[in-house]
Structure 1
Amino acid sequence: MAHALSFSQTVQAPPELVYRHFANASLLEYWLAERAYVHAEVGGVIFLNWDTDNYYAAGSYTTLSPGQAIAFSWYGSGEPAPSQVEVAFEAVDGGTLVKLTHSKLGEGDEWATTLEGLKSNWVTYLENLKSILEEGKALRLYNRPLMGVFPSEFVTAAMAQEEGLPYSSGAKISGVLPDTGAEAAGLQGGDVINMINAIEITDWGAIGRAVEGKLPGDEVALVFHRGTERHEVSLALSQRPFPDVPDSFDGMAAKLQTEQADFIAELEAFLAEISAEEAAQQPAEKAWSVNQNLAHLILNERATQQYIHNEEQDVAGSTYIANDAYMIDALIDVLGDSKELLAEFKRATSQTAAMVRRFPEALVKRRGPYIYIGQILQGLVGHNQQHLAQMKDVIAALRGEAAVEA
């Protein structure tokens, strides 16, 4: 016998905008799936993936009526048979009543786990949809505790073998957030986290599984490497802060320009004290020179521009380019020295602020993308400061004042 589950949620947003959050891959990733791919036409595919839960669902759109209704088939991994999701959008009191029905579900023991999961998850997802549209807050993210690290890349077995590393997997971090458990535990940029609570760290999903069910204040056991040296520490998880974002793009750009100007002044003072030869020299075979750090900052600025453009355009996915060795060295080949790299970095930061100022103010009402753009920009200067610290360590190592490990 076919079974159906029904849910409803009132959202203070217009029906057309709520509808788009079911028909656009980038917007689906804010509130529903960790990864989404859609082709929003009747018969077009919808694919949703949750790395953390090792779960996916696939189907095709069967109804697309903007601002009124949307429907798609659903076949989740491990589920006994395909089912159907139908959503209606009703304008109410300046907002939208979302009515979602998940039908064509079976009964009995083989469906018990699926039904239990769908009952719980759709309630959570719709609450998250409301929070994203009204506040720009992704509850599935902000309700999770925070480690306080910035993973920049994941080590593969092939990478480890090629570089002769004493481990085969892990998350390399570019830095840590101040006043978090990661800082208290002594983690630093360049460290590689290999295990969290005995779970091998191979990707983002592994990190999510390692802290699943944990609350702020709980502790997790970490194994990490600093160079070739193995460390074991206990890390207390922190409350995830919600970004304090200005209420306009002009305000966002002005704040960014002030922060970047302060950083550039500090960077210029540092570069004035070193020679061109020192700026170009690597302290160790696999450690970046000052010039390579500068090239990375330029590429990171360009990557940031791509990210915030994607958020403004509701485009899902983007490849991070700023750690690519070929791109870093090619930029140095073209620009030549630290003086030219600094000039290009200044231009790139100015372009980012100018780009933000040109975003339409209507985007402020789309709280998910707006808050996320603000969050990305808030992380820029902290990231830059971490690389300035690395540059200072490089010069200290070259002058025999300290050692830098690859």
Structure 2
Amino acid sequence: MTIVTAEVFVNAPVKMAYRAFTNSTSLREWLCDVSTVEPHASGRMYLWWNGNFYSSGHYLELEENRKVKFRWFSNVDPAPTEVTVTVSEKDGGTQVRLDHEVPNDDEWKQKSDGFREYWVESLENLKSVLETGIDLRIANRPLLGIVPGDFTEEQANALGVPVREGLRLDGVVEGRGAQKCGLQKNDVIVEFGGKTIGNDASSFANAIAGKKGGDQVEVIYYRGAEKKTVIMELSKRPMPEVPFDPAELERQARAIYEPALAEVEKAFEGFTDTQALAHPEPNEWNALETVAHLISGERFNILILTGLIDGYEPVADGFGTNVHAQVQATVKANPSIDLMLGALRRAVEETLAFVALIPAEFVANKGSYYRFASGLLQPNFHLTAHLEQIKSALAAAKK
């Protein structure tokens, strides 16, 4: 057998390094894109990466905060192999050593070199995640400046787009690559960098894999019935400074939420409940249903933060779609402008109150904390992206 070895020193407690190999959420934050594990001898270990690469195996041995051994069998390997990870205290931090046993023959020679390169790179990301919370895979990923939206057959018909597969834009961000190259709301991207874009979330993730800020890519899209091609220069991704203090995080998040909330509330001034409940078109949301969707977004924030703190993050294949019955139910429970805006305010307040109450042990889990906090501190694209939709629905109702 050939032993492929990679090591890294991490300035973090041993228990956090051990958790990185035995917890689904932690594994996703530095190693893979989807995981499900059951950390006990013979317990499952399934890891999946965008691009449909996966490893399916199970744990062989576990010694808490000392050793993890598991079976690795990827969909491109001729046979299963074994990986042993040891974690030990060193100089106030943790020494992580990974030994991957690979058959010693010509068939495996190239794979051995690939394993070595991959594990070295992955352990460097583990170090970054445990020490700073920053996932280098995200930090190095380009920022496109798009606000993705649903793309249904009804929308395709309404827009006059002759395709049923693609990524429809809810909007673009000022100053980013998408806006600079001329993309607009309701454009439907069908090809990015030579790769076809479908309705599934993974197709776009696969298309941008390996791309970095500054790269130029060809984008093919539909604007109505017209097929267009542009060259987009991918923007570099600024990583936000995240305060590792829940009270300060809550303060900074509130400063982002408040102006966006004020704009939403101002949009309803001078309108009646009847107008707010009027549909611009039979299959389009009215203004209150759009607010209901914003409330759903805050409930999702609560769900995600709860799962991260608990160590059982809810994971799905993509983000799902908007379920019309859900927004209808929220409107039925809050059938007026005052009630709906009050419900939105309360939903935001609950999110911010939860943030301020984040327990100290979760703050120490820097990968999960940074991931949630950095998302919270982005400009409030969700509220502002739907502001024009609300204004448009109200203006149509006034005619």
RMSD (CA atoms): 2.5
**SS of aligned partner of 2:162:** coil
Relative to structure 1, is the Cα distance of residues 269 and 231 closer, same or farther in structure 2, using a 3 angstrom cutoff?
A: same
Moved more, 3-12 or 228-237: 228-237
Are positions 1:388 and 2:387 aligned together?
yes
Counterparts of residues 198-237 of structure 1 (less than 5 Å): 198-202=194-198, 203-237=200-234
What number of residue pairs does the alignment pair up?
A: 396
Alpha-carbon contact 1:170-1:193 (below 8 Å) kept: yes
In 1, Cα distance between the equivalents of 2:154 and 2:57? Answer: 35
Question: In structure 2, what is the equivalent of residue 323 of structure 1?
Answer: 322
Residue correspondence of structure 1 range 84-103 to structure 2 within 5 A: 84-103=82-101
Aligned pairs (5 A) from 1:20-31: 20-31=19-30
1:187 aligns with 2:208: no
**Following the alignment from structure 2 to structure 1, what is the Cα–Cα distance between the partners of residues 191 and 166?**
7
Note the C-alpha offset of 1:315.
1.7
8 Å Cα contact 1:50/1:56 also seen in 2: yes
| 1:242 aligned counterpart, secondary structure | coil
2:366 is the alignment partner of 1:367: yes
1:79 is paired with a residue whose SS is coil
Alignment deviations for residues 248-283 of structure 1 (CA, whole Å, 9 cap, x no partner): 100111222233232222222221122323211222
Q: How many Å apart are 1:160 and its aligned residue? A: 6.7
Match of 1:143 in 2: 140
Counterpart-to-counterpart distance in 1, 2:355 and 2:210:
37
Q: What are the Cα deviations for residues 187-212 of structure 1, in whole angstroms up to 9, with x where unaligned?
A: 34444322112311123433233234
Q: 1:10 to 1:184 in 2, by over 3 A?
A: same
Any unmatched runs of 5+ in structure 2? none
- Aligned-pair distance for 1:372? 1.0
1:166 aligns with 2:162: yes
Matched ranges for 1:235-384 at <5 A: 235-318=232-315, 320=319, 323-379=322-378, 381-384=380-383
CA shift, 1:325, in A, is: 1.1
Task: Name the CA distance, whole Å, in 1 between partners of 2:22 and 2:12.
Answer: 16
- Secondary structure at 2:228 match in 1: strand
Identity score, percent: 31
Q: Does residue 123 in structure 1 map to residue 150 in structure 2?
A: no
Contact 1:87–1:101 (8 Å) recurs in 2? yes
**CA shift for structure 1 position 148:** 2.0
Residues 289-320 of structure 1 show CA distances to partners (whole Å, capped at 9, x for unaligned) of: 21111000111110111112222222233455
Shift of the 284–262 alpha-carbon distance from structure 1 to 2, 3 Å rule, reads same
Per-residue deviation, 1:27 = 0.5
- CA-to-aligned-CA distance 1:58-83 (integer Å, 9 cap, x gap): 11101111110101001011211100
Which 5+ residue runs of structure 1 have no aligned equivalent? 401-406
- The residue type paired with residue 206 of structure 2 is R
TM-score, normalised to structure 1, is: 0.90
Paired residue type of 1:223? I
Distance in 2 between the 1:345 and 1:233 partners? Answer: 39
Structure 1 position 227, deviation (Å): 5.0
- The code of the aligned residue for 1:326 comes to A
Deviation, structure 1 residue 226: 4.3
1:288 is paired with a residue of what secondary structure?
A: coil
Secondary structure of 2:386's match?
helix
Task: Name the CA distance, whole Å, in 1 between partners of 2:260 and 2:361.
Answer: 31
| 3-state SS in 2 of match to 1:286 | coil
Is the CA contact 2:276–2:397 (under 8 Å) kept in the aligned structure 1?
Answer: no
Amino acid at match of 1:249: P
- CA offsets, 1:97-142, max 9 Å, x none? 101000043421x324422321211111100000000111101111
Q: Name the aligned partner's letter for residue 67 of structure 1.
A: N
Distance in 2 (CA, whole Å) between partners of 1:158 and 1:116 is: 50
The 8 Å contact of residues 291 and 341 in structure 2, kept in 1 or not, is answered as: yes
The whole-number CA distance in structure 2 between the counterparts of 1:316 and 1:221 is 35
1:12 aligns with 2:11: yes
| Contact 1:321/1:327 (<8 A) preserved | no
Structure 1 residues 188 and 161 mapped into 2: Cα distance closer, same or farther (>3 Å)? Answer: closer
